[in-house]
Structure 1
């Protein structure tokens, strides 16, 4: 089971995070008092086609039924907007009352340490929220390091990254679900031999980075994972170099298209839906849209073969800015998203709710993702391996850039990993480690 060990470098990680923000403009502990109780401002970035968006819109409907005198003002943001400018938006006098925010040291850890998020520890206790599941550890931060400490966020879903596949094309070419990396390569070579590029991959976005990380996990054990994610020991950069060599090899063999360097995640997913590619390595957040949009073939999923480690965790967080004007209303909204009605709704839509009545979920895709997530969460060997961009601020952009150049062929595997390593270690070097 992946450990949640803390180390003495937690304070150093906090220093890295705070280095990215000025604390001079942060509101104090007395901030965030309601100016008026007639408006709730909610932000999230999930698009209208997602199960999360549908579930949270239902939560708004329930909120409005319970608060008929309150107007809900919703704004749709983008993932990139919150990744790049989230701290500035949180530190604004126009911050929302509650919003979806990115989990991890470099995001929620950074802004919690900077004093921009409300500590929800006492709120959760007072309201009797059951947040005992380890999935909720993504909302705990101490000195900017995720996994324990005070609660700054609540997630109402989990997620992991499987391989989605086109069952019709597998049957057409007599292929079985691979159980090893060699078998996966045999599957992909069969498609290449028949003029089909196997992997729908948005190399210019998170799917490419997730694939590189998953391939690195092939050659990592728990100690290596802890070293990378929690700074507990020396990072196994050889595992990353082997992963980069595999990506370069797969690109040369035609398993990955060099054109993928100009493709974002959404376009890659759309191409899988269209039947253009038989394989798509991306998260469970696609399950609901696939049910709605895939009409010309049957789809299924399998966990990436060859390792017990899978990118995944509890989902992104509901947080309440320290400068929120209507915090009690924000708490009411978070509570509704954790209600059985909304949780069961998410499960039916193919999401991975954290507090649903599992016996009440009837949809096949809901049962599929919930079952696999439960196995990963309970695993004693491997399990949910978090995400590669979490350790230090700014790493996401560096991972995308170097992976893109790797697929383009403008960087060797060694150069790509050196670029990632340099950014990773620079974050630690900034505080003298």
Structure 2
């Protein structure tokens, strides 16, 4: 009897120690330094409340150092259990090197549509290696007071858009808070914002990847022509104006419209007296289907060498839950959950942008998948070429030819 009790006692101790070994500290790697307080004060306590015994630590690295330092830690076996994933090729490279677990079929993944997971899948779509967290939506913010004063309505079509810009200009108001000094805004806040309505979103993007469309085709040239027309409505000295200058110009009410993404909402919502509105990229003509750039920003993956893999999957299942989606969407204003859950967005401007998903088809920045892999770099070409088009230094047809020639140099499906 005494021996049996001893065996039972030993087994119980072994089970308890195994449980203790499982319930350790989970470490999350991320580049989102700005989100540290949110994770530590809101998200992690919400998770730990219903998962006693699992401690979570958020360990961010500066965005400019994240990719290289994370790669080094993963290679050295010292990285955290959970990895914040950038979209497309950076995370795909980590998966191909064997650093990230395959997540297909894992709890929580069922709450995401195929379009939500595309940024964290292999090219053939067979393996998913990060759970989607959030995306940003592109569009235009506008100053409601200026619009009201001039009796203007948010434009819906290309013609209406330029009528509004012309009215603003004639009234002595700088129509667009936009500069080209930093270049990236020309591409990411203008061309890939307004372009999907011309190349029909995913249809045009996938046709480029398949080699069935060229960047010299009419839809892509028309988007550049739209951009060229916008150039006439920038403020003085726009070629020397930085992103920060544009934010400041719009915040101070010195320009009426700001081409941007939803990430800027929280910045402007802190400006006293600024009444914000938002409108979607204009369609070519009334009745046309609309498309929005709903671009994947961040996902979360599981380190293949995670010390605490079982709990990492528990945490991941929670990231795929309604509770997480609600907190993240409403506390990180302008970053929208990619899950299928119905979320009530509380910020009025963010809510307005999120509702575009109900009437417009979502697409991503067309060069984000596959098209950035060669030289010349599609991303840097887009920055340079679009800023020149906005500055009136490069004609749309010439810009399109230069983009296409650079693309065809390295991408075989474009060489047919």
TM-score (norm 2): 0.76
Given candidates 362, 385, 393, the residue that maps to 1:384 is 362
- CA 1:209–1:282: 2 relative to 1, 3 Å: same
- CA 1:131–1:286: 2 relative to 1, 3 Å: same
**In the TM superposition, what is the alpha-carbon distance from 1:169 to its structure 2 partner?**
0.8
Aligned-partner SS, 1:121 = coil
Q: Is the 8 A contact 2:210 2:413 kept in 1?
A: no
- For 1:219 and 1:359, the matched residues in 2 are separated by 30
Q: Which residue of 1 aligns with 2:158?
A: 181
- CA 1:325–1:77: 2 relative to 1, 3 Å: farther
* RMSD after superposition: 3.6
- For 2:403 and 2:118, the matched residues in 1 are separated by 24
Q: Which residue of 1 aligns with 2:199?
A: 220
- For 1:431 and 1:85, the matched residues in 2 are separated by 35
Q: Which residue of 2 aligns with 1:117?
A: 100
Q: Which residue of 2 aligns with 1:243?
A: 223
Q: Is the 8 A contact 2:326 2:343 kept in 1?
A: no
Given candidates 327, 338, 349, the residue that maps to 2:320 is 338
C-alpha offsets along residues 394-422 of structure 1, whole Å, 9 cap, x if unaligned? 42222212223434455444443344323
Q: Give unmatched runs, 5+ long, in structure 2.
A: 1-20, 285-289
- CA 1:348–1:409: 2 relative to 1, 3 Å: same
Q: Which residue of 2 aligns with 1:209?
A: 187
- For 1:188 and 1:92, the matched residues in 2 are separated by 55
- For 1:284 and 1:59, the matched residues in 2 are separated by 21
1:75 to 2:60 alignment: yes
**In the TM superposition, what is the alpha-carbon distance from 1:38 to its structure 2 partner?**
4.3
Aligned-partner SS, 2:198 = coil
- CA 1:365–1:149: 2 relative to 1, 3 Å: same
**In the TM superposition, what is the alpha-carbon distance from 1:301 to its structure 2 partner?**
0.9
**In the TM superposition, what is the alpha-carbon distance from 1:386 to its structure 2 partner?**
0.9
C-alpha offsets along residues 336-389 of structure 1, whole Å, 9 cap, x if unaligned? 33333332223434442344864755553454333222333xxxxxx1121133
Q: Is the 8 A contact 1:344 1:356 kept in 2?
A: no
1:59 to 2:43 alignment: yes
- For 2:258 and 2:249, the matched residues in 1 are separated by 9
Q: Which residue of 1 aligns with 2:356?
A: 372
- For 1:43 and 1:275, the matched residues in 2 are separated by 39
- For 2:179 and 2:82, the matched residues in 1 are separated by 30
- For 1:398 and 1:286, the matched residues in 2 are separated by 24
Higher CA-based Rg: 2
Q: Which residue of 2 aligns with 1:231?
A: 210
Q: Is the 8 A contact 1:312 1:386 kept in 2?
A: yes
- For 1:431 and 1:269, the matched residues in 2 are separated by 38
Q: Is the 8 A contact 1:117 1:321 kept in 2?
A: yes
1:273 to 2:251 alignment: yes
1:171 to 2:148 alignment: yes
Q: Which residue of 2 aligns with 1:397?
A: 380
- For 2:380 and 2:349, the matched residues in 1 are separated by 32
- For 2:95 and 2:233, the matched residues in 1 are separated by 44
- CA 1:341–1:217: 2 relative to 1, 3 Å: closer
C-alpha offsets along residues 286-315 of structure 1, whole Å, 9 cap, x if unaligned? 334443x13212111111112512211444
- For 1:400 and 1:280, the matched residues in 2 are separated by 18
- For 2:22 and 2:234, the matched residues in 1 are separated by 57
Q: Give unmatched runs, 5+ long, in structure 1.
A: 1-34, 377-382
- For 1:323 and 1:130, the matched residues in 2 are separated by 24
- CA 1:224–1:367: 2 relative to 1, 3 Å: closer
- For 1:269 and 1:98, the matched residues in 2 are separated by 34
Aligned-partner SS, 2:156 = coil
- CA 1:344–1:39: 2 relative to 1, 3 Å: same
1:319 to 2:297 alignment: no
- For 1:256 and 1:170, the matched residues in 2 are separated by 18
- For 2:304 and 2:30, the matched residues in 1 are separated by 17
